[in-house]
Amino acid sequence: MKSLVIVESPTKAKTIKKYLPKGYVVDSSNGHIRDLPASAKEVPANIKKEKWASLGINTENGYEPLYVVSTQKKKIVKKLKDLIKEADELILATDEDREGEGISWHLREVLKPKVPVKRMVFHEITEDAIKKALTEFREIDMNLVDAQETRRIIDRLAGYTISPLLWKKIAPGLSAGRVQSVAVKLIVDRERERMRFRSGTYCDLKAVLFPESKNSQFEAEMSALNGKRLASGKDFDENTGKLKKPDAVELLSFGQAEMLKNQLLENGVWRVLQVETKEQKRSPAPPFTTSTLQQEANRKFGFSAGDTMRVAQALYEQGFITYMRTDSTFLSNQAITAARKGVESLYGPEYLSEKERRYTTKSKAAQEAHEAIRPAGNQFQTPNDTGLSGRELKLYDLIWKRTVATQMAEARIAFTNVLIEGIVTPGKTSARQNIADKTTDEGLIETHFKASGKRILFPGYFRAYVEGSDDPEAQLEDQDKPLPALKEQDTLGCKKLEAVTHETKPPARFTEATLIKFLEKEGVGRPSTYASIIGTIQDRKYAKKDGSALVPTFTAFAVTELLETHFPDVVDTHFTSEMENQLDEIAHGTYDRLSYIKSYFEGEKGLKENVEKQESQIDPAKARRINLPLEGLDGIELFVGRFGPYVQMKKGEEVVSASIPESMEPSDLTADKIKELIEISEEGPDILGRHPETGENVYMLTGRYGPYVQLGEVTESNKKPKRGSLLKGMTTEDVDLPMALKLLSLPRTLGNHPETGLEVKAGVGRFGPFILHDGKFKSLGKDDNVLDVKLDRALEVLAQQKTGGRGGGRGSASVLKELGPHPKTGDAINILDGRYGPYIKFGKKNISLPKDTDAQSFSMEQAVELIKQKTK
């Protein structure tokens, strides 16, 4: 008997093939083999005239989706159909979640097999799991298929209905999404909070004290003055910078803190008032879910959510971890046994928890795989035994440590809190008159300081894993900060005392980790979708990274304001969360999908009617206007336009406009900066002088991408005068006429190459300074100056080992992975990092990797298949 097994990817096919008996043929669908039309070109000719054709969903007939097989998938479909002709049964072994169930259903619908069809599911690709799955076939779960299809339809209705409205009212290329728009609003709201924030200032004292009978010292911070608590950050109003309850706390100025410091240093008497020690136990965190893995990988390694999912997918398909799309923290008996064995052998029996530690899923909507993300199998491979490297090793190590830690003993920590008194008695201070209002009725100056320490009594699971730390041993040292042995009434000496000024900080921007945590907490979207959502937000230029922080753009503000005003439900977290609950009910078979879709799209407050009603009421000029919470903007308006953000101010009958440089974020703007941009625009460009050869004026201007120099004016006959951007690190003050002429001379000819006789040039492009020769570019080093570089240095740069740029494009691409020789031709196959992402270099051919593919996990088999597809 011959069985055809279909999975989603070549890597998964290769791994599963090892565990199947003879007679099983394994191949892959490379994801979905069909989907809703991605463009008008994919809509069949007989459908194009239908009103609903652009949606790809028949809104006139039960919201039937229009599925099409894309051109690149037709070859895969043909191959699979040919394989079925030789098979006695078809086994669909796609992932056991909504998406995987959907892929299996689409395969059955398109391939129309005449042989029996079985559904095979497993959570890890190990020999035991595959053998067990072969004995437990089931039918395709149509409830899961309905939930996946409904989500796809709803997302298409939302995106394809609201996005065109954004194109008309704000700018082309924008998009809205059911979860995406909520996430953008969260980022924008946080930025608004930061812009409204007003800093508050408070002062206190920091002391270095020591027991008079001991040689050790410790730090303590002032907490109270004459029985009144000292003000701290939590006491200030974020919108005013003022104390919320000024009578409830003592606010010291820096001057008062300095005088108090001097008096305590000169005449202070220090003693211990109270010592309190408490022992606490710490339990390990639950094993990873999709969400917590994304958060922790972002915190520890700076991985984006997309990076994490790509690497985890590769680990799963290679058989190293269980399925990585899961809301569950449950560990199977097999996993618990494997973890406990690992703890005992690696750390000793004293580090093993007394009882098996089991976890239950708190998420009310847990609906994906049935187990947490953990190492696969009944014996966990230690990271060093896997043969993995790079990102795959990092992520596997993280998953292994977190899983093993769940079965380790609790950590025991002793926390010590000490209250200390520092007193200046009457007659002991010469500066009494300066702080008379800071003394008690008896004339005392009485201060309280607090010190805290902690000591690891038993590290327990800390030996394996500490959240947010790459090095548990180093983390243990950081945590172990004991105080010297102190008891009440002990007298202390003061070695150092300093006045410290503090400023309250605005709310932190969202990072990928904190945004994912917030979305999951609010029930918006599902963890398996967060990677693509955050990727889309950045691709659409709604946010960009500043370090790890997500910073909203001017466009994000404009789009969010329009949606808040006209489609509040679209950006409402509670509304979107409730939608997720209804989708979960469809997955459980307790809610009718058609009723849900109709209610969403054409109900009393449905999206269709709302969009039609609001479209005529939205003034494009108002939609493009941005309302930032800034003071002092009377008469000044901010807009987003076709060429980026700009400001506008009416002066008499004239309206003065000025571009906001692309490098400037909304949070960088102040009323003064905006007025400066307008003044520069109003005054016109600075004339640096005349070009010595042409006699034309050389101007200094500021545009969308920042300041630049220009030769001559824009005229009918000279629509694109020569321009030169300032080099990185330059300011307008650095540029005089000689420097401007140098910038305008780029790209400049350095001479001819001694071997080819062709010109060698130096210039600056989109990606920085470069050397150009024979149509090929090579980046200059960070220590090279493009204005001064000579021919000999350019030849050195050109002679550096080349790794094969793409089509003579910008810069030489770096090799990400060497796969080796092609099994048939013998030509080398390498994966390179190109301008538009990773690609395969095979002879003279450059073949882009599929979107969201992890280059490090891409196999020779996958590369050969991709080359075969692209070279037919």
Element housing 433 (H / E): none
* Pairwise CA distance, residues 78 & 259, whole Å: 86
Nearest by Cα to 661 from 646, 681, 640: 646
DSSP single-letter state for residue 384: G
Is the alpha carbon torsion for 181, 182, 188, 189 positive or negative? Answer: positive
Backbone angles phi, psi at 210, to 5 degrees: -150, 145
The first and second tokens of residue 660, run together, are 């906001």
| DSSP bridge partners of 750 | none
Full 3-state SS string of 585-643:
HHHCCCCCHHHHHHHHHHCCCCHHHHHHHHHCCCCHHHHCEECCCCCCCCCEEEEEECC
Long-range contacts of 575-578 (CB under 8 A, 24+ apart): 576/178, 576/179, 576/182, 576/524, 576/525, 577/522, 577/523, 577/524
* Pairwise CA distance, residues 76 & 70, whole Å: 10
Active site residue 839: no
Cis, bond preceding 747 (omega within 30 deg of 0): yes
DSSP single-letter state for residue 87: -
Nearest by Cα to 561 from 665, 639, 663, 632: 639
Residues in Cβ contact with 633 at an 8 Å cutoff, skipping those fewer than 6 apart = 671, 674
What helix, strand, coil percent values describe the chain, rounded to 5? 35, 25, 40
Element housing 133 (H / E): helix 127-133
* Pairwise CA distance, residues 778 & 255, whole Å: 58
* Pairwise CA distance, residues 498 & 206, whole Å: 5
Nearest by Cα to 811 from 779, 844, 785: 779
* Pairwise CA distance, residues 410 & 392, whole Å: 29
- CA distances 227 to 86, 222, 249, 438, 728, Å, are 88, 12, 10, 11, 55
Contact predicate 764/725, CB 8 Å: yes
* Pairwise CA distance, residues 221 & 395, whole Å: 40
Rounded (10°) angle between helices 180-196 and 512-522: 110
Element housing 299 (H / E): helix 290-301
Nearest by Cα to 699 from 691, 711, 717: 711
Backbone angles phi, psi at 248, to 5 degrees: -90, -15
* Pairwise CA distance, residues 504 & 200, whole Å: 5
For the chain, report the end-to-end CA distance as a whole number of angstroms. Answer: 33
Residues in Cβ contact with 409 at an 8 Å cutoff, skipping those fewer than 6 apart = 350, 351, 352, 353, 354, 458, 460, 461
Residues in Cβ contact with 21 at an 8 Å cutoff, skipping those fewer than 6 apart = none
User: Among the options 24, 316, 323, 646, which is catalytic?
Assistant: 323
* Pairwise CA distance, residues 529 & 527, whole Å: 5
* Pairwise CA distance, residues 481 & 36, whole Å: 59
Q: Catalytic residues, which ones?
A: 323
